[in-house]
Amino acid sequence: MPAFARAIELGYGIEMDVHLTKDKQLVVFHDDTLRRICNSNGVIEQMTYQELSQYRLSGTYEKMPLFSDFLAFVHGRVPLLIEIKMPGWDYTICKYIKEALADYDGAYLLQSFNTIALRWFHIHMPEALIGQLSSNLTKTAKHVPYAANFIAKHLLCNRYGRPDFISYKLADAKTPSLWFVHHLYRTPIAVWTLRTKKAQEIGTVCFDMNIFEDHGIDYQI
């Protein structure tokens, strides 16, 4: 939450990730497991919020926030880029996110690696703008079948998901499929995650939206 407060102070939009817990609570947390941030075992979707709230984040006194508390805190002061963490075919999280955003008076975009989530929001919440997340998954996501990664990498599900924008890893952004949808279909492209001035320069000149993070860098809005 202090990082979100700092982003608001600087006038930056906030990119964050939302999971649905075992007891159907929406929580703000990036990773799929507790290992890196909480130095513990556990998968977010397989734990209750009460269990998750016992853990501290990265050695601080901060706990994993509820999505509702996050929305109340931001209160429309900056735009949001909300990543939907949907690890399988179950789209229940989409229903809960729609409910949570029903009374939210602020600008936001939605995005997900899971094209099923895009399709769900296109049908049930057509006023929302939603993006397809992707990267060179054939290289990095070895636990997923190669064919599925190939389809995701080359954005071959766009006709099904009908994304309003693409959110792609900058290091993998030379893929021909991304060039094709950007220049032929004029689809806006966000690139992530920019951590240097050089990356920011490339993102600003070549693409439409930058997702950045780092300490001590004077990013320009």
The pLDDT assigned to 221 comes to: 45
The pLDDT assigned to 217 comes to: 58
d(CA 4, CA 70): 9
How is the chain split into domains, by residue range? 1-128, 132-221
State which residues of the chain have pLDDT below 70.
215-221
With the C-alpha atoms ordered 29, 99, 109, 162, is the resulting torsion angle positive or negative? positive
- Residue type at 60 in one-letter notation: T
- In words, the CATH class of domain 1-128 is alpha beta
Greatest Cα-to-Cα distance within the chain, rounded to the nearest angstrom: 49
Q: How much is the pTM?
A: 0.94
d(CA 25, CA 125): 20
The pLDDT assigned to 130 comes to: 98
The pLDDT assigned to 122 comes to: 97
Cβ-proximal residues to 155 (8 Å cutoff; 6+ apart), any chain: 132, 134, 166, 177, 178, 181
pLDDT digits (tens, 9 = 90+) for 174-204: 999 999 999 999 999 999 999 998 999 999 9
